[in-house]
Amino acid sequence: MQLYTYFRSSAAYRVRIALNLKGLNADYIPVHLLNNGGEQHSDAYKAVNPSELVPSLVDNEFQLSQSLSILEYLEERYPETALLPQDIQQRALVRAFSLAIACDIHPLNNLRVLQYLSGTLEVSDEQKNTWYRHWVDTGFKTLEALLHSSNGRFCFGDQPTFADCCLIPQVYNALRFNVDITAYPKIASIYQHCNTLAAFQQAAPEAQQEAA
Which residues lie near a copy of itself (CB under 8 A)?
50-53, 62, 64-66, 68-70, 72-73, 76-77, 88-89, 91-93, 95-96, 99-100, 102-104, 106-108, 113, 116, 120-121, 123, 127, 130-131, 134, 141-142, 145-146
CA distance 44 to 57: 15
Least gap, CB of 178 to a copy of itself (angstroms): 19
∠ CA 38-49-63, nearest 5°, is 140
Least gap, CB of 154 to a copy of itself (angstroms): 18
Query: Closest Cα partner for 5 from 171, 192, 211?
Result: 211
Least gap, CB of 196 to a copy of itself (angstroms): 28
Least gap, CB of 69 to a copy of itself (angstroms): 4
Total residues found in the chain within this entry: 212
Minimum CB distance to a copy of itself smaller for 92 or for 175? 92
Minimum CB distance to a copy of itself smaller for 49 or for 197? 49
What would you measure as the largest C-alpha separation in the chain, in angstroms? 48
Least gap, CB of 212 to a copy of itself (angstroms): 30
CA distance 39 to 52: 9
Least gap, CB of 96 to a copy of itself (angstroms): 4
Contacts with 11 (C-beta within 8 Å, 6 or more apart), sequence order? 53, 54, 55, 67, 102, 106, 110, 169
Minimum CB distance to a copy of itself smaller for 58 or for 207? 58
Minimum CB distance to a copy of itself smaller for 28 or for 97? 97
CA distance 105 to 127: 17
Minimum CB distance to a copy of itself smaller for 99 or for 207? 99
Minimum CB distance to a copy of itself smaller for 17 or for 163? 163
Contacts with 21 (C-beta within 8 Å, 6 or more apart), sequence order? 81, 83, 160, 165, 199
